[in-house]
Chain A
């Protein structure tokens, strides 16, 4: 069965500082990996995805993530955070089976200090 772990429940970062959110997954085959962001009271917006190919993927809003098969990780990074990046971030793994359901991690809530 697939699973996703986001070890950090909360992260506080100063505006302009770099951000890294950790994600570890468990899946028997090559995973499809996603990062979604959820602002308060809002739905889930896709930041970026990895299906295959280049292990460093670029997303929207200046985010990037690196797939490391050896570490079963897909960490999300941003070099310089903005106050508008305060939100909850979810890592998800997708199955390759016909249903292709997503399994989400518990989320990391990011607070941005001025």
Chain B
């Protein structure tokens, strides 16, 4: 069964460094998402992406964040200058159509020191 994959599974970085989190959505899916879950808190929406542009973003998704679909398979989240409070599990999700289910990847646990 097709699944969303994410790399790396864990990443440790120093405050102020740039990180890129990578996702490979399910191949025929058209809509892509990033969510995050700070330890012990609820899963929060960051951004949705369709047709090579952002369709919606939350207030969390400030200028330090960017997303890109550099080729036909990858979907990336970049944090330009990480802060301690960016430490969280980041989930990528994708869906095929207008009302179809979002399928989540296993997540990348980011720790900013």
Binding site for B on A (CB under 8 A): 32, 34, 36, 42-46, 49, 51, 90, 92, 94, 96-107
Nearest Cβ on chain B to A63's Cβ, whole angstroms? 15
With A43-B105, A46-B104, A100-B95 given, can you name 6 additional A-B contacts, CB distance below 8 Å?
A: A45-B104, A99-B56, A101-B33, A101-B48, A102-B93, A106-B41
CB-based contact B42/A106 at 8 Å = yes
Nearest Cβ on chain A to B98's Cβ, whole angstroms? 7
CB closest chain-B residue, reference A98: B55
CB-based contact A101/B45 at 8 Å = yes
- Contact residues in B for A51 (Cβ distance below 8 Å): 99
Distance between Cα atoms of A37 and B34 in the complex (Å)? 18
Contact of B104 among A32, A43, A49, A107 (CB under 8 A): A43
CB-based contact B55/A44 at 8 Å = no
- Contact residues in A for B91 (Cβ distance below 8 Å): 43-44
Distance between Cα atoms of A51 and B42 in the complex (Å)? 23
What are 19 A-B contacts with C-beta separation under 8 Å?
Answer: A32-B99, A36-B104, A43-B107, A44-B43, A44-B91, A44-B104, A46-B103, A49-B101, A92-B43, A96-B99, A99-B56, A100-B48, A101-B48, A101-B58, A102-B43, A102-B93, A104-B42, A104-B44, A105-B42
Distance between Cα atoms of A94 and B48 in the complex (Å)? 13
CB-based contact B56/A46 at 8 Å = no
Which of B41, B95, B102, B104 has the most CB atoms of chain A within a 10 A radius of its CB? B102
CB-based contact A90/B43 at 8 Å = yes
Interface residue B75 (Cβ < 8 Å from any Cβ of A): no
Nearest Cβ on chain A to B5's Cβ, whole angstroms? 10
- Contact residues in B for A103 (Cβ distance below 8 Å): 45
Distance between Cα atoms of A18 and B57 in the complex (Å)? 39
Interface residue B65 (Cβ < 8 Å from any Cβ of A): no
CB-based contact A97/B56 at 8 Å = yes
- Contact residues in B for A44 (Cβ distance below 8 Å): 43, 91, 104
Distance between Cα atoms of A105 and B37 in the complex (Å)? 12
Distance between Cα atoms of A45 and B98 in the complex (Å)? 20
